[in-house]
Structure 1
Amino acid sequence: MEHTLIQADDTLTLWGIIIVWASASIYLEQRYKWASKVSGAILALIGAIILSNTGIIPTESPVYDAVWGTIVPLAIPLLLFHVNLKKIWKESGKLLIIFLLSSIGTVAGTIVSFFLLKDHIPYLDKIGAMISATYIGGGVNFAAMAAKFETPGELVSATVVADNLMMAIYFIVLMIIPTLSFFRKRYSIPHILEVESGNSDGDGTTLAESFWKRKDISLKDIALSVGTAFLLVIISFKIAGFLDTAIPSGENASVLMNLLNGLLGDKYLMLTTITFILLGLFPKYFDSINGSQEIGTYLIYLFFVVIGIPASIPLILTNAPLLLLFTFIVVMINMIISLTAGKLLKTNLEDIILASNANIGGPTTAAALAIAKGWKDLVGPILVVGTLGYIIGNYIGTLLGFWFSSII
């Protein structure tokens, strides 16, 4: 057990800290110009990093697992209730192309990083398989590669810490990029301009406060928003769980069966799909619910706090400074290739940022970034496209793992 001021089993206090700091981040973002420029998401994340690295809160707790397992799934349908389905289909094609090109960036980054550091980091063939898989898909792929290549437990733990810290840093970088004039001048930014045009009246409010104007909301709206979201999560997760068990997967199954299992057995993809179907079937019902976007965004801010907590700087400096360098090289090459490919294809900056985020952090963190920036029409597409990474991540990780092991 970690020696922290608040212990991992003090669930009430930990929930309180997450909720209070998420609330404070939202307030600061909407109250002060400097905080609005930094963004509430970054404030939430940095605050969490400080709290965990100063020994106030632990880096692991069942509370954080509950945020990943319950809060995030609830937020997803809430934020999709008012999306424009026509824009969803229009945006998905562009995002898919840039996401796949960004995945090539991960592969290239892993190969370069492996050859630079293979003589300095033990078991780098196994670590390379894990990082390449997770930086295309997500934590599921990381766990699958760790088990497949039988990576020693202490190395898995050290790699997780390096991965968490790098993801937190990269998330902050991706949040800052759209505010820099260098990128704004060189890429098309339609979603950024759409959000900023909402504060064109010069009334002195911050951009965030203007975007989240006060709306009419009733007790019935809250009940229908939360109740419908919970119902969608339960149904989707049960169906996905059943199909994941029913459809064969693994080394003994065919490529087609593995593909079907990855598509139909994925909880988040099933949740997004069922939500889309119901949006198409009952548009008036979902249009009539006020407040779902606000509730969903608040829940995502709890998630922003939690993703910053495991980024333990002392642990990295003690156990895995070279692993941090390894992940840094992979992430930098992914970003460079994503931005270059996006520029050549005249892709929107928002699409490039979200595609790279979906590779490195998974579709949920990419959706969270889209929500934080107010790019509501990209939330659905990046969840759909990003989930593809869960499917292809294991194949790419396996191929690179076998290749690297033949070299070492």
Structure 2
Amino acid sequence: MTGSTLISADNTWALMAITCGWVAFSIYAEQTWAWASKLSGAIIALIGALLLTNFNVIPTSAPWFDDIIWGYVVPLAIPLLLLQCDIRKIWKESGKLLFIFLIGSIGTTVSAVVAFNLLQNSVPDPAGVAAMMTGSYIGGGVNFATLSGSFAIPGETVAATTVADNLLMACYFFVLIAIPSISFFRKAYKHPHLDEVESVGVDEAAKTQAAAYWERKPISLRDIAVDFAISAIIVWISFSIAKILGTAIPTSNPFLKTVNALFSNKYLIMTTVAMLVATFGSKHVEKTAGAQEIGTYLIYLFLFVIGVPASIKQIIVNAPWLFVFCLIMVVGNMLFCFVFGKLFKFNLEEIILASNANIGGPTTAAAMAISKGWVKLVGPIMLVGTLGYVIGTYFGTFIGQLFGA
């Protein structure tokens, strides 16, 4: 197919221009127009790649996609996004939210086991899908990228799963937004933050904090240099450790083979190293701006690229069962959050945001808190959701190894 496309696979500059150009449009659209904000920049990026591929404008495989984005961009993005994950700070400031978040993480993992056993003969690469979605539904898209690379899941499966996931996410967020207005939930759970917002009508303070939260941030040349240096060093050290452990640990029996696969997993090692740097080097890391923004932009490039190998025909064939697979996991997460949240007397707002942080990641949870005026929960849920970047990779790797991904 690559020989018949308008842009050839070896035209790296053209493919780079198209990728960066469409990602820029996706981000601009999400932050400018209401319809695009509801759709999300991630879906816009993916849709653009799908259309360009299926209309033979760009190839399904090229060095820019396979070697540069997968080989360098994704590994650089992950440490950048993990640099704010100071475990001590998360525990100190967000202990209560952390508890319900961890309950939701267990719900996601249990649901992955259920979905795998029910649908392993109906979806492609079921073990890989279970691993990816376990990570994704504990910490968000960062874990999805990490685990898809970690288990070398075929691009067609990654793209089809992403389409199914994005469709489900749209439905899921609408449900979460609607829950605070449903009388059953208002009667069953305490909702002090909702009461506070409604008691003053339009919360001008929330507006101000929301605007401040998403405004432009000062960033210097030094910040950019330090961010990239830290990320590159983490990747280099992590990949080196993984290679050494992979050589040192024998594979003479099934148990040792599993141990070897676990400790030679370069993405798992990279997550651990990045977390240690963020925790024990927090004083230095916090002085450097821009890591979150740069990391998120690089992930957007990845989001475009995962849509490239997708055949619309294959997605139509595969996505329906993949949708059901993801649906089982999302429903499982919500059941754990709401049932145990009720048992342990959590507020409705805390339960909603914890589930949101699991399924969509810290950014979507913080955005929802801001949009609802629950401004006191923005910082804590951002911190807790960031922890999902770390534990999601561990949980997803465990599920993948368990099912032989």
Q: TM-score category by the smaller chain?
A: 0.7 to 0.9
Counterpart of 1:165, as a letter, is A
Is the 1:217–1:291 contact (alpha carbons within 8 Å) kept by the matching residues of 2? Answer: yes
Instruction: Give distance in 2, aligned partners of 1:220 and 1:141.
Output: 31
Instruction: Give distance in 2, aligned partners of 1:271 and 1:143.
Output: 16
SS at match of 2:337: helix
Unaligned runs of 5+ in 2: 136-146, 195-201, 342-349, 369-377
Q: Please state how far the C-alpha of 1:20 moved relative to its aligned partner.
A: 1.0
Partner of 2:164: 169
Partner of 1:279: 278
Counterpart of 1:289, as a letter, is T
Cα distance per residue 1:338-358 (max 9 Å; x no partner): 22222212273344355457x
Q: Please state how far the C-alpha of 1:189 moved relative to its aligned partner.
A: 10
Partner of 1:23: 24
Match for 2:392 among 379, 386, 393?
386
Cα distance, 1:10–1:165 mapped onto 2, change above 3 Å: same
Cα distance, 1:243–1:354 mapped onto 2, change above 3 Å: farther
Counterpart of 1:348, as a letter, is I
Cα distance, 1:287–1:68 mapped onto 2, change above 3 Å: same
Unaligned runs of 5+ in 1: 145-156, 358-365, 402-408
RMSD: 3.9
Counterpart of 1:393, as a letter, is I
Q: Does 1:178 align with 2:143?
A: no
Cα distance, 1:188–1:176 mapped onto 2, change above 3 Å: farther
Q: Please state how far the C-alpha of 1:371 moved relative to its aligned partner.
A: 9.3
Instruction: Give distance in 2, aligned partners of 1:378 and 1:63.
Output: 34
Cα distance, 1:229–1:188 mapped onto 2, change above 3 Å: farther
Counterpart of 1:170, as a letter, is D
Partner of 2:310: 311
Q: Please state how far the C-alpha of 1:286 moved relative to its aligned partner.
A: 1.3
Instruction: Give distance in 2, aligned partners of 1:76 and 1:305.
Output: 16
Q: How does 1:359-378 map to 2 (within 5 A)?
A: 376-378=382-384
Q: Please state how far the C-alpha of 1:57 moved relative to its aligned partner.
A: 1.8
Instruction: Give distance in 2, aligned partners of 1:134 and 1:294.
Output: 23
Cα distance per residue 1:277-334 (max 9 Å; x no partner): 23333333212212222222221221222223233213445xxx2x444323322222
Partner of 2:258: 258
Instruction: Give distance in 2, aligned partners of 1:380 and 1:100.
Output: 17
Instruction: Give distance in 1, aligned partners of 2:203 and 2:291.
Output: 20
Q: Does 1:64 align with 2:65?
A: yes
Partner of 1:334: 329
Cα distance per residue 1:32-63 (max 9 Å; x no partner): 33333333223222222222232222232232
Partner of 1:302: 301
Is the 2:9–2:63 contact (alpha carbons within 8 Å) kept by the matching residues of 1? Answer: yes
Q: Does 1:245 align with 2:251?
A: no
Is the 1:178–1:349 contact (alpha carbons within 8 Å) kept by the matching residues of 2? Answer: no
Q: Please state how far the C-alpha of 1:106 moved relative to its aligned partner.
A: 2.6
Q: Please state how far the C-alpha of 1:225 moved relative to its aligned partner.
A: 1.4
SS at match of 2:321: helix
Instruction: Give distance in 2, aligned partners of 1:88 and 1:190.
Output: 23
Cα distance, 1:378–1:41 mapped onto 2, change above 3 Å: farther
Q: How does 1:59-138 map to 2 (within 5 A)?
A: 59-65=60-66, 66-89=68-91, 90=95, 94-113=100-119, 128=126, 131-132=129-130, 135-136=133-134, 138=147
Calculate the TM-score normalised by the size of structure 2: 0.72
Counterpart of 1:101, as a letter, is G
Partner of 1:55: 56
SS at match of 2:296: helix
Calculate the TM-score normalised by the size of structure 1: 0.72
Cα distance, 1:143–1:335 mapped onto 2, change above 3 Å: same
Cα distance per residue 1:188-237 (max 9 Å; x no partner): 99999xxxx9995657x9x6x75332222221121111122211211122
Is the 1:136–1:392 contact (alpha carbons within 8 Å) kept by the matching residues of 2? Answer: no
Instruction: Give distance in 2, aligned partners of 1:9 and 1:51.
Output: 16
Q: Percent identity?
A: 32
SS at match of 1:289: coil
Partner of 1:151: none
Q: Please state how far the C-alpha of 1:170 moved relative to its aligned partner.
A: 0.9
Size of the alignment, in residue pairs? Answer: 355
Instruction: Give distance in 1, aligned partners of 2:221 and 2:190.
Output: 41
Match for 1:345 among 340, 345, 357?
340
302-311 vs 16-25, greater mean Cα deviation: 302-311
91-100 vs 305-314, greater mean Cα deviation: 91-100
Instruction: Give distance in 1, aligned partners of 2:21 and 2:203.
Output: 28
